[in-house]
Structure 1
Amino acid sequence: MGVFTFFDRALLALGNVLFLIGVLLIIGPQKTYNFFTRPTKRRGSICFVFGVTLILMKWTFLGFIIESLGIVGLFGDFFGIIVQFLRSMPIIGPILSNPVIAPFIDKIAGIRVLPV
């Protein structure tokens, strides 16, 4: 909602809080702590926290961009799984599986296609 309302600071901050609460409720506090403090996820965690801080300091657009980079750093490993799930959906699946579009989507998501 914060993006749809032209980067409203309050809605972006609320979305960040709800996102973190959702992660806590889904995987638990100990696993959440372990996930965000892994050495491989450290850059993403720093960018995410710095982006949230910038949003709270009224630098909403720059904070959103940096926060987005942090989210990609944190959850970039899951993009392949998300694409495979979307390909199983009725309307989106055929579009993502189109031979013209599929190689680009696979490259963006980091999916390795084995040669036949």
Structure 2
Amino acid sequence: MVSLTDFQRIGVGLVGFGLFFLLFGMLLYFDSVLLAFGNILFLSGLVFIIGFKRTFTFFFQRPKMKGTSFFLGGVVVVLMRWPLLGMLLEAYGFVNLFRSFFPVAFGFLGSLTNIPILNKLLQNAGGSSSMV
């Protein structure tokens, strides 16, 4: 099991609340205040989890500058009360920033079928398409 420091636990909570407020802001027809609050909590939680220096070096690597500019530009646009445009910019920047992480995440999700309980659940969910 991975042990977390107190700062990392606070960061996990901040990221969780940030994602909650982002989702809640999108469900309430892109409420700009909730989206802005979610962005601030998410970014501050990321700093608490991995540290300021590592966060700065992740976002400002030369190959990731396009994604960083769109992501942080989207945060600024949301803070300026243009939530739909800001979230579109953030989504594009997020995909560009984490493009190299997606194959790892999909590989992990594919390996979940090797777990016996999940394998049974996925077979039952996929095999129950008959109407009779």
Same fold by TM-score, threshold 0.5 exceeded? yes
State whether structure 2 residue 28 is matched by structure 1 residue 5.
yes
| Percent identical | 40
1:76 counterpart SS class = coil
Q: For residues 19-71 of structure 1, what are the alpha-carbon distances to aligned partners after superposition, in whole Å with 9 as ceiling and x for unaligned?
A: 11221122111111101110011011110111111111121101100111111
Q: For residues 85-113 of structure 1, what are the alpha-carbon distances to aligned partners after superposition, in whole Å with 9 as ceiling and x for unaligned?
A: 2223327x958xx9xxxxxxxxxxxxxxx
The code of the aligned residue for 1:8 comes to: D
Report the structure, 1 or 2, having the larger helix content: 2
Match of 2:14 in 1: none
- Structure 2 stretches lacking a partner, 5+ long: 1-23, 113-117, 127-132
Q: Which of these residues, 104, 109, 118, is aligned with residue 81 of structure 1?
A: 104
Shift of 1:75: 1.1
Q: Which of these residues, 29, 36, 51, is aligned with residue 74 of structure 2?
A: 51
Q: Distance in 1 between matches of 2:94 and 2:45?
A: 14
Normalising by structure 1, report the TM-score: 0.73
CA contact (8 A) 1:43 1:73 kept: yes
Match of 2:91 in 1: 68
Q: Distance in 2 between matches of 1:35 and 1:94?
A: 36
Normalising by structure 2, report the TM-score: 0.65
The code of the aligned residue for 1:55 comes to: V
2:99 counterpart SS class = helix
